[in-house]
Structure 1
Amino acid sequence: MKKLWAFSFLLVFWLVPVSETLSQRIALMGALDQEIELLLGEMKRPKKVPIGGIDFYKGKIRGKKVVVLKAGVGKINASYSTAVLVQNFDIDALIFTGVAGGLHPESLPGDMVIGDRLFQHDFGKYDGNGFSVTTYRELTGGHQTELFIPSDPILVFKSQTASNQVEFNSLSGRKPSVFTGLIATGDMFVSSPDKAQWLYGEYGALAAEMEGAAVAHICRTLGIPFVVIRSCSDNANHDARTNFEQFVGPASVNSSRLVLSILENW
């Protein structure tokens, strides 16, 4: 009888964490239709849930419970979409997927950037010395002091591991590289070599985009694990707009393929 009781206890103990893992819901967010198109195509029996002007899609991808949504472009849209998401869905993690301008001198369209930290490059002060990025405390004397918002280290590791198992689109005549590092967020499409060099030289940012830090701030405040994954559609230079229009589709596929690999190995 004691052996049977012990076996039952061990069986329950083993099943509980498995059950909790299976019950997790992972939010998958992109700013554009192209950035979530592949994910929606992979979803089994999607259920559309319109809330607050946003279409949320509930279902399963690679056996994992997910909710997929398009946030819209820019920090305000990203913040609003994240707020509506967390108010209406019980999520355990969030992955932001999409494209960005590559800032590393060796990056090319199609390369991947896994954001281990994010910051707002257009939040700060403008005085006689010009513009400078600052923390909230430096600007107002308040209590919020984070300039660089760290991603969840486990999700960063999952992303790095999964990237080794993905066959990415080659957009530049070579196998896409995968970088991990800082991502810069601002309400502007960067198409200036000077701005790109400033972001890389001054802060070491590897990609410039328009939503990540806003999502990161809300997730960090609410204790929701998150990671931002970007595929380079351009190099944030004079040709950025042309390259973006040319590569936004295949670059979005690269980012989505990495997300699918993360889910496959979750």
Structure 2
Amino acid sequence: MRFVLFVLALLAMPFAAHAGETSGKLDSQPRIAIISAFEPEWIALNRDVQDRREWIVNGVRFVGGTMKGRPVLLFLSGVSMVNAAMTTQLALDRFTIRSIVFSGVAGGLDPALDVGDVVVPDRWGQYLESAFARADGTGFAPPIQRATGENFANFGMIYPNGVRVRRTGDETGKDRRFWFEVDPGLLATARKLAPQVALSRCSGTLCFRATPKVVVGGNGISGPVFMDNAEFRQYAFQTFQAQVTDMETAAVGQVAYANKVPYIAFRALSDLAGGDPGENQAPAFYRIASDNTAKVVVAFIGAVEMPR
């Protein structure tokens, strides 16, 4: 009797509990991966998922299903560059991913943009992939030669640099780059779609200063810090000509580049990264900004051609 109960208990254990201990693909269905960094962004997107199925791998919940008739896989990357890189590679290893879409909030750098705008950059770079230089009496002396061809201006002791990348078909490690371009086809779909999506200006009594808009093009930068400094914001805009900054997308872009998987990112401005008129606005606006990003992403999924 005890043996029977033991066998029944084993059979009752959910598959997801063992997913982190197995190897190979968990699902053969080609899907569009939709990534968010934290809960409010995730909640907004989950409302539009049909035919749900879930897996848990290494503590990460993956939700499969359809969105606008397209097979999708939703998951949270967690906040930060390391979390984003780790969970994106995990998804690519365990699922059949044809393209990657990041949906979330971010800080605005471009003075022409305002809180609430949704930005879809052409490319993303890691602005703190850098050398911290020692003082030499008159300034700072970078300890290494920069090799990306960009030669970005330094911010005090911080000298931005590129990162060496290994990818399928190039294991030399000589490919050093700062920017990771988004997929041109996905970007073209976003550009065509942008004028058609009506974004919300208010949620209850909380309203953006102006009606938000979707802006396609330009640069995005990512780093492992929450930027809330007016001086660094000005430097970042002038140096990288960046419209937006976050803590994940460039890491996802690097993983996508290494695996030769197309990617794109949609980021709604929840704050101005230190340029806010008073205190940082993210605590007030990240929910409505997340909802607006989700509106654009859901419409994008309905419009994009499913890659084979």
- Cα pair distance change 1:241/1:228, threshold 3 Å: farther
Establish whether residue 169 from structure 1 lines up as the match of residue 200 from structure 2: yes
| 1:84-136 deviations in Å (ceiling 9; x for gaps) | 10001101100001000011102111101102110001111011321110123
Does the 8 A contact of 1:102 with 1:109 survive in 2? yes
Q: What is the CA distance between 1:36 and its match in structure 2?
A: 1.7
Distance 2:286 2:177 in 1: 31
Matches within 5 A, 1:34-53: 34-53=40-59
Q: Say whether 1:215 aligns with 2:246.
A: no
Higher Cα radius of gyration: 2
Aligned residue type for 2:160? V
Matching of residues 1-266 of structure 1 within 5 Å: 24-128=30-134, 129=140, 130-136=157-163, 143-170=174-201, 171-179=207-215, 180-237=217-274, 239=276, 242-266=280-304
Amino acid at match of 2:62: F
Deviation at 1:175, TM superposition (A): 2.2
3-state SS, counterpart of residue 266 of structure 2: strand
Secondary structure at 1:144 match in 2: strand
C-alpha distance after superposition, 1:108-166 (max 9, x if no partner): 111011021100011110113211101236xxxx6131111111011111112222211
> Contact conserved, 1:187 with 1:210, CA < 8 A, in 2?
yes
Alpha-carbon separation, structure 1, partners of 2:30 and 2:295: 21
Aligned counterparts of 2:229 and 2:280: Cα–Cα separation in 1? 13
CA contact (8 A) 1:135 1:144 kept: no
Moved more, 57-66 or 105-114: 105-114
Please give the alpha-carbon distance, in whole angstroms, between the structure 1 residues aligned to 2:50 and 2:213. Answer: 31
1:177 deviates by: 2.8
Q: What is the distance in 2 between the residues matched to 1:136 and 1:64?
A: 34
TM-score normalised to structure 2 length: 0.75
> Is the contact made by 2:186 and 2:264 (CA closer than 8 Å) also made in structure 1?
yes
Is 1:107–1:177's contact at 8 Å kept on the other side of the alignment?
A: no
Q: What is the aligned-residue RMSD (CA, Å)?
A: 1.7
The Cα of 1:238 is off from its aligned counterpart by 6.1
Describe the shift of the 1:165–1:195 C-alpha distance in structure 2 as closer, same or farther (beyond 3 A). Answer: same
Where structure 1 has 5 or more consecutive residues not aligned to the other structure, the ranges are 1-22
* TM-score (ref. length: structure 1): 0.86
* Overall identity of the aligned pairs, in %: 26
**Hey, what's the Cα distance between the residues in 1 that align with 2:303 and 2:275?**
39
Distance in 2 (CA, whole Å) between partners of 1:244 and 1:115 is 20
**Mapped partners of 1:241, 1:263: distance in 2:** 35
**5+ long unaligned stretches in structure 2:** 1-28, 135-139, 141-156, 165-172, 202-206
Distance in 2 (CA, whole Å) between partners of 1:256 and 1:241 is 26
Asked whether the equivalents of residues 187 and 264 of structure 2 are also in contact (C-alpha less than 8 Å), the reply is yes
Equivalent-residue separation in structure 1 for 2:115 and 2:292 (angstroms): 10
Deviation at 1:181, TM superposition (A): 1.2
Partner Cα distance (1:43, 1:241) in 2: 35
**Higher share of residues assigned helix:** 1
CA distance in structure 2 between the partners assigned to 1:241 and 1:231 by the alignment: 18
Deviations 1:9-43 (A, max 9, x none): xxxxxxxxxxxxxx741000000111121211111
Task: Give the secondary-structure state (helix, strand or coil) at the position aligned to 1:42.
Answer: coil
